[in-house]
A and B are shown apart, each in its own frame.
Chain A
């Protein structure tokens, strides 16, 4: 789903960073007309306001990016998105895999100088688990039975059953540690954490200012100040970058990014795990018949979708994009467009004359949706299938999508490094989004259960290959491609390590020349 709601992408546990290209500037105008000092503020451009200031309920990527600088979690993701030491060292795990003991670093404080100890950690995890908090990480911590703080430095987490994704969940900004003595209502307005930067002020829909936290537990952050500036319009963002008003920004549009290149702006390309798909709901009367879905699968040339909607900047993928588990995009019925096969499937479904269906298409969630829809519509037309486009604004789209009130949907869905977190909620009969996916089977339920229970990597891999095969053979959805992201930075910026999917793990070490 929508990029801005990519919660799942935060739960990454495998090494998945793929920085492919570094394009350096060609000559162009562009003045660095800024009088800013060497150590800040660094201005980071974001395309939408970070309005959710409580990390536990922050779902929008912009809020997560900002709060990731203000808060720390028990563990932190490293630049390869693996969980590593954070406020606590890596835990001791009991033999049965059900008891985790964490030891906090000593001398931890919040940015107001107050002490951070195990009681704050216990408070935070308990609050995340409390349904009343409406924390988004509650489901990923559902294996937790109890949290206790035997002394000021130690936290013991007991599980109902072993859970391999616990550490990833604890390294997310959605499980950040908040001070237990501050009311949540005040933190919603004025965040207070233990991250590299301290919250200073916010102008709604304009900017959020942070200042250096000199007592950051890792070491001294690289900048005296950091400002997130909201610039909704991509073209304005480009000119802001070129004029030096903004030092860094992340784009998902290739052409826009190209225009940002100049003497003083460098572009880095980062692969994404999120995938673009044409979701069909096999539960709906239109798509009940597997042959109908296979006909659509065979009638679409995915490379053409990439070429037109992403101007060639993306890779055709199968269902699973998680590194180490990735599906082979050729292991599917009709790996390349096959109109004859499409006709055969249509005939088998008794619809030789084609048929008509409607796809919901979001507007304002991500830029390529409408282009994908138009290209797919045109491709399906030549197979005799009529796809009607129903454009919906983002909130209306999410409404319909969640309620499963659609036959087909153009979607950009979040994916994590762990295929279990990505797909269990869609394709198991009890998954929260099974109504959205519209497909489940006994076989899949069993495979997903196996996948969580299995710890051996190669065995797990096999399980997920089987899952991938069933999804493709039955054409549950049509998986299209994964796009790329572009990180534009002013050449004054040093030390930033781009990481898949726009996470800003290394921003705290970044400095300005």
Chain B
């Protein structure tokens, strides 16, 4: 659950860019530090107890191989240097460069996030409109309660229950198959995506519904709507043409936020439904103590998150000049 816009005065664009870079550097330093404090390293993680059979010189060689023999600042700088030259590191477990791994994993998470947002909009906007159509009435209460219910059910619970019911009672478990990338087997891909996207979509439908409801109520009170109504524009047309269109701004903003959140927040769904996405890549990297995998992947997520926020924010400012005054 991430916050909305970053409120600062000054020259927004340049200042925002500088801020973004500083943020990303901070994220990198934080990740790096946390990883080095984690107990265990890649040697014990890949050799297991057989690391006990390694001689001192073998251990030293392995440390050198994994780049663990250098002082910490040097390790960080060499990783950073790599990032600037397009080298995100190498995963010895996957036998692939982190850039290649990310190129495979990122589309999975992006697809999941897009599907989840679409589902959330499909549920959230009509829900919010129904709730706003008669504030305080029964339908409002029902919609609000439903939204609270889904907001309160954690993804790991709904995911677990849904997956086990469908698999045990209907024998339907597309996620047991090898993951099918969208470009290779779209039919299977959609089957594998539908459950996790549904679970995630429902979980973020609630804030979208709330935003829709508030935005509609807000705009209905605005002068130009009253004027339009006074002019005799039919209620139905008024609703679609004026109210909803104007309410779209905060809805789009909220969707952008949720999208940013999903980049890292999909990890539970990816784990339950065995999707080779970017959150799972971080989780696996942490388990295997592959420092460069975790560092680079977290950085990629952070870059996307910052970008999405930046774009959302700028779009918001362009569309709604009132924000400038804040």
- Find out whether A and B make contact in their complex, taking CB atoms under 8 A apart as touching: yes
Residues of chain B in range 75-102 having any CB-CB distance to chain A below 8 Å: 91-96, 101
**Whole-angstrom CA separation of A432 from B58 in the bound complex:** 15
Say if the beta carbon of B240 comes within 8 Å of chain A: no
Partner pick for B287 among A60, A136, A237, A394, CB 8 A cutoff: A394
Q: 14 pairs across A/B with beta carbons < 8 Å? A: A30-B171, A49-B93, A51-B95, A59-B47, A59-B48, A134-B61, A229-B178, A236-B175, A236-B273, A238-B167, A246-B176, A396-B39, A402-B52, A432-B53
Known: A239-B167, A240-B173, A402-B44. A206 touches B179 (CB 8 A): yes
Say if the beta carbon of A436 comes within 8 Å of chain B: yes
Chain B residues contacting A240 (CB-CB under 8 Å) are 173, 176-177
Chain B residues contacting A393 (CB-CB under 8 Å) are 39-40, 287
Residues of chain A in range 348-392 having any CB-CB distance to chain B below 8 Å: 364, 392
Number of interface residues of B (CB under 8 A): 51
Q: A5-B49, A399-B44 are in contact. List 8 more A-B contacts (CB 8 A).
A: A2-B48, A52-B46, A134-B58, A134-B62, A205-B280, A241-B176, A245-B173, A433-B52
CB-based nearest A residue for B179? A206
Chain A residues contacting B168 (CB-CB under 8 Å) are 239, 259
- Name the 6 nearest CB pairs between A and B, nearest first: A240-B176, A395-B40, A239-B167, A5-B48, A204-B94, A239-B173
Say if the beta carbon of B246 comes within 8 Å of chain A: no
**Whole-angstrom CA separation of A231 from B39 in the bound complex:** 26
**Whole-angstrom CA separation of A133 from B54 in the bound complex:** 11
Partner pick for B176 among A7, A243, A398, CB 8 A cutoff: A243
Secondary structure class of chain A's binding surface, majority of residues: mixed
Chain B residues contacting A398 (CB-CB under 8 Å) are 40, 44-45, 48-49, 51
Chain A residues contacting B58 (CB-CB under 8 Å) are 131-132, 134
CB-based nearest B residue for A2? B48
Say if the beta carbon of A92 comes within 8 Å of chain B: no
Binding site for A on B (CB under 8 A): 38-41, 44-55, 57-58, 61-62, 91-96, 101, 163-164, 167-173, 175-179, 271-274, 276, 280, 284, 287-289
Chain B residues contacting A4 (CB-CB under 8 Å) are 48
Say if the beta carbon of A218 comes within 8 Å of chain B: no
Chain A residues contacting B50 (CB-CB under 8 Å) are 5, 7, 59, 136
Interface string of A433-466 (1 = CB under 8 A from B): 1001000000000000000000000000000000
Chain A residues contacting B273 (CB-CB under 8 Å) are 236
**Whole-angstrom CA separation of A219 from B53 in the bound complex:** 37
Are B101 and A204 in contact, with the CB atoms below 8 A?
A: yes
Partner pick for A395 among B39, B54, B172, CB 8 A cutoff: B39
Say if the beta carbon of A101 comes within 8 Å of chain B: no
Chain A residues contacting B287 (CB-CB under 8 Å) are 364, 393-395
- The minimal Cβ–Cβ distance linking B284 to chain A, given in whole angstroms, is 6
Interface string of A220-234 (1 = CB under 8 A from B): 000000010101110
